[in-house]
Chain A
């Protein structure tokens, strides 16, 4: 009998055995299904959280590619009309298509502003000047406490922690204090148009006002800005697009070098001697700030993943040993009627891996169920967790690569756990096996 002819027979035998011993396999089936389910939940949530962080960062830093103007001796990012015209012309020349565009003026730093209401003060880390109309779609996606009101040049959007610190509600009049580019204090009166539910490190100390009003407050020309953000329709080819834009832009205005992380950016900024230098940044440059958070998530994922794999290995080793012990006479009989050792081993392996396949399918459905429950739960009450959420909810991502890795890892653990007992079982002397001797 050739191997090609033998395999269907062995498969059929193994399925029959699997069905006959289904009760014996139940414990291992449940353990594997649960463990694979947990592993899938963890990995899909991790991928979802990373995606959430990317989206949060994309919203905060205004795009996939950001043109940021830095000026020697100034802490304020600044692009004048000259740089802005050059950036738009360069983007057109290299055919950068965008799904949306953000033009913002930002004041960010240790204490670049404060907001006052009814005698209370809240220090601000980010004062962001936006074009309400241009970024309508972005603001419609934010989570608000209540229904946000109409926004104009006198409107301000506060983060929920800031509003709580001030005791301010929608419709209240607040005073925003900031520093001009020359370091003078300047103030403006604003009406709270909405309160944004964001207590993440991107949004905690943040307010949004009109770009025109902020420009006037800090002493920019009306049309100036700090950055221009390009939201691209797809994440593929961002690196190449940035390089092409950089080449084109460098022929028009002074640009900084292409930098790949925050340290590189800071170093390049220190080397500016005079005038405005435009940098083209991508999110990984900014996100190197959040690298520690991501490392912590990865570590927690690895610990949980390892624990689950250990559970799988121990359960599989114990269960398979028990099953093999119970079936030792049967194995002996199979050997006595002419089955080769390798065939006997293959039957057992096929049994267990078939069962594992079904349990992983069950585990995947279990993961889907758990993720549906988790995504229906609000986690906005966890301080700083918003940065990982999408629309205030945990979002799972089932990346094919991650699922294949999970299946491979579970398969490997299972293989390692059952290989030893199966091998020993098939190698026992025939008389001992037929008499029900030890494994």
Chain B
């Protein structure tokens, strides 16, 4: 056990060294590819508990707890809603490019879209899958920036493949190669959403976001004369890279959860 711990620490240090050193030496395209790789788990399955707090100014907060199971090698994921009680048992299954939504009330699967909002929050269904920024966008410009205490590279992206929800993006990538902030824009350049990842778990040599904050630029309300944006905070706990059973990534699994 001790040996494994030491080995993990050395691996982490080496990885950190590997990630930090090339920042000054690698191209923006490589940096983006690296950020994608860090947020993709191609060598293992991933599971975690996501607590999603949706805050609508003037309307209070709603809490959703979901179990997320990802197998990035097969581009598939399963999400099972555990809270609130009214939505318990609802689930999502992504198989290739198809996203199914299961409603235990009607016991039916309906096709959904990655572009749609997740459970009426500011997160999109596409936010739960692996990152493919380098594949979907081309870099139009890059600049150095400081984000809080972090030295970052800001990349302006434009969609290179069709059907991207946000045709323009800005991504802040820190020295370690981790995505720290994104801004999503419409085709005309209107800011639609900002997301921030303040901290990461580091488990088994892989990075997992601890908290993701989505701030909607268009939705919100004026409270006492101040405009407050609608926001969603996702807290990720119990991350695991243990192998998951193949049966989890199936419609039968979502149906069986409710039995």
Contact = CB atoms under 8 A, between A and B. Distances in A.
B193 to A, nearest CB: 10
Interface string A94-136: 0000000000000000000000101111000000000000000
Interface in B165-196: 165-167, 186-188, 190, 192
B162 A177 contact: no
B167 A184 contact: yes
A187 B192 contact: yes
B57 A185 contact: no
Nearest to A117: B218
A107 B188 CA distance: 18
B220 interface: yes
B230 interface: yes
A119 B221 contact: yes
Interface string A42-82: 00000000000000000000000000000000000000000
A184 B187 contact: yes
A184 B187 CA distance: 7
Nearest to B186: A187
Contact of B188 (A116, A118, A183, A186): A186
Given A175-B190, A187-B186, A188-B188, A182 B218 contact: no
A120 B221 CA distance: 7
A183 B187 CA distance: 11
Interface string B13-47: 00000000000000000000000000000000000
A180 interface: yes
A119 B115 CA distance: 20
Contacts of B164: 183-184
B223 to A, nearest CB: 10
Interface string B218-230: 1111100001111
B159 interface: yes
Interface string A305-341: 0000000000000000000000000000000000000
The residue in A175, A183, A185, A217 that gathers the most chain B C-beta atoms within 10 A of its C-beta is: A185
A187 B227 CA distance: 20
A43 B187 CA distance: 53
A69 B118 CA distance: 33
Contacts of B219: 116, 119-121
A207 B190 CA distance: 20
A186 B188 CA distance: 6
B165 A119 contact: no
The secondary-structure label for the interface of chain A is strand
Contacts of A187: 186-188, 190, 192
Contacts of A120: 219, 221
Contacts of A119: 57, 218-222, 227-230
A175 to B, nearest CB: 6
Indicate the member of B163, B187, B222, B227 with the most A CB atoms within 10 Å. B187
Given A183-B115, A186-B188, A118 B222 contact: yes
Contacts of B221: 118-120
Contacts of A118: 221-222, 227
Contacts of B192: 177, 185, 187
A182 B57 CA distance: 33
B218 A175 contact: yes
A188 B189 CA distance: 9
Given A186-B186, A187-B192, A116 B163 contact: no
Most buried by B among A120, A175, A187: A187
A180 B164 CA distance: 10
A193 to B, nearest CB: 20
B218 A116 contact: yes
A326 B162 CA distance: 90
A183 B159 CA distance: 11
Interface string A165-190: 00000000001010010111111110
Nearest to B159: A184
B162 A121 contact: no
Interface in B97-150: 115
A121 B190 CA distance: 16
Contacts of B222: 118-119
Nearest to A189: B190
A224 B186 CA distance: 22
B218 A121 contact: yes
A426 B220 CA distance: 85
A188 B220 CA distance: 18
A220 to B, nearest CB: 13
B66 to A, nearest CB: 23
A181 to B, nearest CB: 9
A186 to B, nearest CB: 4
Given A118-B227, A187-B190, 9 more contacts: A116-B218, A119-B57, A119-B227, A121-B219, A177-B192, A180-B187, A184-B165, A185-B166, A188-B188
Interface of A: 116, 118-121, 175, 177, 180, 182-189, 217
5 contacts: A119-B227, A119-B228, A175-B218, A180-B167, A187-B186
Which 3 interchain pairs have the tightest Cβ spacing?
A: A119-B220, A186-B187, A187-B186
